[in-house]
Structure formats: structure tokens, C-alpha cells
């Protein structure tokens, strides 16, 4: 059972799920695979990569217990960097005239980080379930009702995070619900749903 919990958490971690979401939206919002690759690399360089490298740096310098720390207080530095990257990224994407859906995705990420950072002042939400819920929401927006089958990923990841002792049911549920609502709201405001 422990192997299944760890495998689920490792496969559906925020970095890998974020990568998949960026690639899916890039492919859907561009005219060619080359454009999709270009925009995927830009978004990854503005978000996932620096946060991942910063987390590794903090772990190696004993300032973070793991890349996916479950200690609420240790998340503050990661959230602060994500907010800075969100602002810088939005400006860069506007300047580069990024496709609307990619800009909406980045604004979604920025909005979620600000909200989760505020919650983190007194409580924590599961980022694993948040990212998976965002993935499911993106799949439904891109591919329609058929993608609803992916919703089974949310309780699977929630179970893994709860069973591993990293989150409570409320933290997993809140992360998933907030992420799906934030993504849907931002995409609605951008006229994409």
C-alpha cells in the first residue's frame, strides 16, 4: 500500500502535472507543434523550472524538509517566489503577445498562488490535489464532457496525500475545489468558457 501511495504522489506531483497542463494548453492554443513547443518552454521557464530549482536549493541547504514539504511554515518562501514569478511572467507574456489561453493559464496560476499563500498564513491546502483538479478542469474545457472521466484522479491523489499523512481530507478537498473554481473563473473572465 505504501508503494502505491508514494507512486501516486510522485507521478501526480505539482511540477509534473503543471508541465502536462502547460503542454496541453500550448498545443490547443497554437497553430503548430513548433509554436506549442516554444510557448511551453517559455511558460515552464517562467514558472515550474525556477520554483523547482529553488526548492532543490532549499532542501540541499536544510531550509526545506523536502521538495514537496508538508510543513506549512516552510512553504512561505516557495509561495513568495511564485508570486514574484507570476507578476514577471504575466508582464512577459503580455509583451510577447502570448495566446489568450496561455495568458489565462498564467493568470490562473498567479491567482491561485496568491490565494493559497494567504491561506498558508494559518492553514495549508494540498497542492497535489489542487494541480490535479486544475488538470481535470483544463481537460474538460479543452475536450468537453468526455474528459470528465479524468475526475477519478482527484480522489486518487487526495487518498495518497491523506494516507501519507501530509494532508487532511479538508485540506485535500479545499485544494481541489479552489483550484477548479479559480481556473474556471479566470477562463470565464477571459471569455474562454
Task: Write the pLDDT tens digit of every residue in 95-126.
Answer: 999 999 999 999 999 999 999 999 999 999 99
Q: Is the pTM of this model over 0.75?
A: yes
Domain positions in the chain are 2-189
How far, in Å, CA of 122 to CA of 186, rounded? 25
Q: Nearest 10 degrees: CA dihedral of 169, 174, 180, 185?
A: 170
Q: Is residue 141 exposed (0-12), middle (13-18) or buried (19+ Cβ within 10 Å)? A: buried
**pLDDT band at residue 1 under the 50/70/90 scheme:** confident
- Whole-number average pLDDT of the chain: 96
The whole-number pLDDT of residue 71 equals 87
pLDDT average, residue stretch 84-92: 97
More confidently predicted of 98 and 66: 98
Amino acid at each position: 500500500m505504501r508503494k502505491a501511495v508514494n507512486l501516486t504522489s510522485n507521478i501526480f506531483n505539482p511540477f509534473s502535472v503543471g508541465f502536462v497542463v502547460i503542454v496541453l494548453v500550448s498545443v490547443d492554443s497554437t497553430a503548430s507543434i513548433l509554436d506549442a513547443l516554444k510557448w511551453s518552454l517559455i511558460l515552464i521557464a517562467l514558472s515550474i523550472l525556477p520554483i523547482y530549482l529553488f526548492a532543490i536549493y532549499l532542501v540541499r541547504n536544510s531550509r526545506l524538509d523536502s521538495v514537496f514539504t508538508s510543513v506549512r511554515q516552510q512553504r512561505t518562501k516557495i509561495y513568495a517566489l511564485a508570486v514574484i514569478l507570476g507578476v514577471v511572467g504575466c508582464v512577459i507574456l503580455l509583451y510577447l503577445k502570448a495566446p489568450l489561453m496561455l495568458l489565462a493559464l498564467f493568470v490562473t496560476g498567479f491567482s491561485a498562488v496568491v490565494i493559497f499563500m494567504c491561506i498558508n498564513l494559518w492553514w495549508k491546502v494540498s497542492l497535489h490535489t489542487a494541480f490535479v483538479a486544475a488538470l481535470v478542469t483544463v481537460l474538460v474545457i479543452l475536450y468537453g464532457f468526455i474528459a470528465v472521466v479524468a475526475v477519478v484522479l482527484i480522489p486518487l491523489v487526495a487518498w495518497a496525500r491523506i494516507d501519507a499523512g501530509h494532508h487532511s481530507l479538508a485540506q485535500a478537498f479545499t485544494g481541489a475545489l479552489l483550484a477548479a473554481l479559480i481556473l474556471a473563473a479566470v477562463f470565464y473572465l477571459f471569455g474562454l468558457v
